[in-house]
Amino acid sequence: VDTTKMFFCMHGYWLVVPFSGLEISALGAVLYLCARKTHRAEMIRINPKGVQISRNWEPRRVRHFQTHWVQARMQPGAHPWYGSSLLLGSHGTYLEIGAFLNEADRQGLKDELTRCIAAARLSGATMQETSRSYLTAWHVEGELDAVHG
């Protein structure tokens, strides 16, 4: 039991007890939300047939794009204060990826995705292995899996 709570309760300030419990509950909720945001990740799978994007906070939703048409592009922010957005998609349907990355890592991810998509279009067989703080890719049965988060 919190000694501060007990001190105020013993001196007749019993209203401190419920507010102290409310404060601890609010702190627990904020810590839970921070921990949940910390483990955000996006999985990008690139192979000659298509590009699949899934997110661990949307487990049942997987986005598909054809490798031949997909492109990664940077869209500048609406105001200089806002960072740019990395968009991946085709035919007018784009999905923002890497929103939780800083500007330099987002640009590096765009360059790496462009390289991997070009390699998938050309060879279709094997991809190079790469490892960076914002992108980890590995070769699995003719596909390139990329996870950043």
Residue range 86-112: average pLDDT? 91
Residue range 101-125: average pLDDT? 86
Residue range 25-52: average pLDDT? 89
Q: Is pLDDT of 126 > 90?
A: no
Query: What percentage of the chain reaches a pLDDT higher than 70?
Result: 82
Per-residue pLDDT of 46-84, as tens digits, reads: 888 889 998 888 878 889 999 889 999 999 988 888 889
Min mean pLDDT across 4-18, 91-105, 119-133 is at: 119-133
Distance CA 135, CA 46 (A): 13
Q: What is the pLDDT of residue 48?
A: 86
Please choose, from the candidates 112, 109, 97, the residue with its C-alpha nearest in 3D space to the C-alpha of residue 41: 97
Contacts of 8 (CB under 8 A, 6+ apart): 14, 16, 17
Q: Is pLDDT of 146 > 90?
A: no
Q: What is the pLDDT of residue 124?
A: 60
Residue range 108-115: average pLDDT? 92
